[in-house]
C-alpha cells in the first residue's frame, strides 16, 4: 500500500472487504463495503453495530455522518 497517493485510494481498495465505519455520536458499524460515493455515503453488507451481535443484510450510512473508515483486511 505504499502507492496510496490520495485518501480515496484507500477507500477504493476497501470495496468488497470488511470495514469498520465510525460515525458521529460515537458508535460504529462493521460490515463488507459494497459501495461508496463522492459524498462518502457508504453501503455495507452483513453489517452490525458496535456492541450488538445482530447482523443486518444491508446498511446505508450517510456520508455526512462518517468520521472514519477502517479496513479490516
C-alpha cell read off for 20: 469498520
Asked whether the CA dihedral 47, 52, 55, 58 is positive or negative, the reply is negative
Least distance between a second copy and beta carbon 51 (Å)? 13
Question: Under the criterion CB under 8 A, does residue 45 sit at the interface with a second copy?
Answer: yes
Which of 4, 30, 52, 53 is in the footprint of a second copy by CB under 8 A?
4
Distances, alpha carbon 58 to alpha carbons 2, 50, 67, in Å: 32, 15, 20
Question: Under the criterion CB under 8 A, does residue 50 sit at the interface with a second copy?
Answer: no
Binding site for a second copy (CB under 8 A): 1, 4-11, 14, 23-26, 29, 34-37, 40-43, 45, 47, 56-72
Amino acid at each position: 500500500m505504499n502507492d496510496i497517493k490520495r485518501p480515496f485510494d484507500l477507500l477504493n481498495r476497501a470495496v468488497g472487504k470488511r470495514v469498520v465505519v465510525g460515525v458521529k455520536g460515537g458508535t460504529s458499524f462493521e460490515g463488507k463495503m459494497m459501495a461508496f460515493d463522492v459524498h462518502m455515503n457508504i453501503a455495507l453488507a452483513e453489517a452490525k453495530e458496535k456492541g450488538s451481535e445482530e447482523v443486518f443484510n444491508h446498511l446505508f450510512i450517510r456520508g455526512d455522518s462518517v468520521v472514519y473508515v477502517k479496513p479490516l483486511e
